[in-house]
């Protein structure tokens, strides 16, 4: 069937999750933090994701903002920064203002020009997502911003992917789904979406029952792939 909607994960896909730590490290007076920011950013992201999976399996849902704070607290302690309350506050503030990857605005504009519906489908809670969308200036290119808070469970629960059809009236094979998380793209493939994994870090393929239809270094070619389906 013809693709009608192109749907994106948010964090790590459209928005650079390392931007908060990277920007904080360049601020005056944070020379000591500059030595730790890469490790902290990686630990923060890993724990953020791990906590979503554990909460989904345990049926102990909370919103993504709490998970984000929990992940940061673990990462700061692991880097010996657990007592720096001012740094914690600054990093959380910057997370609300994450920058988009450079190719994102042009890519989304091309999809809209070609007549495709566009959306975000994210673990993020609505306030976080609104902050990132507004900060990146991409709200005008999106028809919907869908948060797992509508269903009360994190990805990759099936009910999250079902939200797309409920919003756009599409069958799964009418949706092109893009994520920087290999496991997310894989589960979306199993759901029936056509998928692309944006593998910016050149990681190995996850060993799961499904594999993404496309593996890309960035988002530049997404409009061409969607039109070709």
Looking at residue 143, which CATH number applies to its domain?
3.40.50.1000
Model confidence over 142-163: pLDDT tens digits?
999 999 999 999 999 999 999 9
Rounded to two decimals, the pTM is 0.96
pLDDT digits (tens, 9 = 90+) for 72-128: 999 999 999 999 999 999 999 999 999 999 999 999 999 999 999 999 999 999 999
| 91 & 139 share domain | no
Residues 75 and 155 in one domain: no
Per annotation, catalytic residue among 9, 16, 43, 63: 9
Question: How is 151-213 classified by DSSP, letter by letter?
Answer: TTS-TT-HHHHHHHHHHH---GGGEEEEES-HHHHHHHHHHT-EEEEE-TT-PPPP-SS---S
Banded pLDDT at 166 (limits 50, 70, 90): very high
Claim to verify: residue 57 and residue 137 sit in the same structural domain: no
Q: Are residues 109 and 78 in the same domain?
A: no
pLDDT at 211 over 90: yes
What percent of the chain is predicted at pLDDT more than 90?
A: 97
Query: Catalytic site residue 9?
Result: yes
Query: pLDDT by residue (tens digit) across 8-64?
Result: 999 999 999 999 999 999 999 999 899 999 999 999 999 999 999 999 999 999 999
Q: What is the CATH classification number for the domain harbouring 62? A: 1.10.150.240
Which residue's structure tokens are 């593996």? 215
Q: Are residues 153 and 89 in the same domain?
A: no
Count other C-beta atoms under 10 Å from residue 106's C-beta: 13
Residue 185 predicted with pLDDT over 70: yes
How far CA 1 is from CA of 165, 172, 226, in Å, comes to 14, 10, 12
pLDDT at 130 over 90: yes
**Same domain assignment for residues 170 and 62:** no
pLDDT, position 1: 66
Please give the mean pLDDT across all residues of the chain: 96
Residue numbers of the domain that contains 90: 19-95
- Percent of the residues in the chain that have a pLDDT greater than 70, as a whole number: 100
Write down the pLDDT at residue 229: 79
The domain tally of the chain equals 2
Instruction: Clarify whether residues 176 and 223 are in a common domain.
Output: yes
Cβ proximity of 44 and 72 under 8 Å: yes
Last residue of a domain, one of 34, 69, 95: 95
């Amino acid at each position: 069937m013809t693709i009608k909607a192109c749907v994106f994960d948010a964090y790590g896909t459209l928005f650079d999750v390392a931007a908060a730590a990277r920007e904080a490290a360049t601020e005056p007076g944070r020379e000591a933090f500059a030595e730790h920011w890469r490790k902290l950013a990686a630990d923060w992201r890993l724990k953020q994701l791990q906590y979503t999976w554990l909460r989904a399996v345990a049926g102990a849902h909370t919103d993504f903002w709490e998970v984000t704070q929990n992940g940061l607290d673990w990462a700061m302690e692991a880097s010996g920064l657990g007592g720096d309350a001012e740094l914690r506050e600054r990093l959380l503030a910057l997370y609300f203002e994450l920058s988009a990857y450079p190719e994102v605005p042009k890519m989304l504009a091309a999809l809209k020009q070609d007549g495709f519906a566009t959306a975000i489908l994210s673990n993020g809670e609505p306030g976080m997502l609104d902050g990132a969308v507004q900060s990146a200036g991409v709200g005008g290119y999106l028809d919907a911003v869908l948060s797992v808070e509508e269903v009360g469970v994190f990805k990759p629960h099936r009910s999250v992917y079902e939200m797309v059809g409920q919003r756009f009236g599409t069958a799964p094979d009418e949706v092109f789904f893009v994520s920087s998380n290999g496991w997310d793209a894989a589960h979306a493939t199993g759901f029936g979406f056509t998928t692309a994994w944006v593998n910016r870090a050149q990681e190995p393929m996850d060993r799961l029952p499904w594999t993404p239809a496309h593996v890309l270094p960035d988002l530049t070619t997404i409009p061409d792939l969607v039109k070709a389906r």
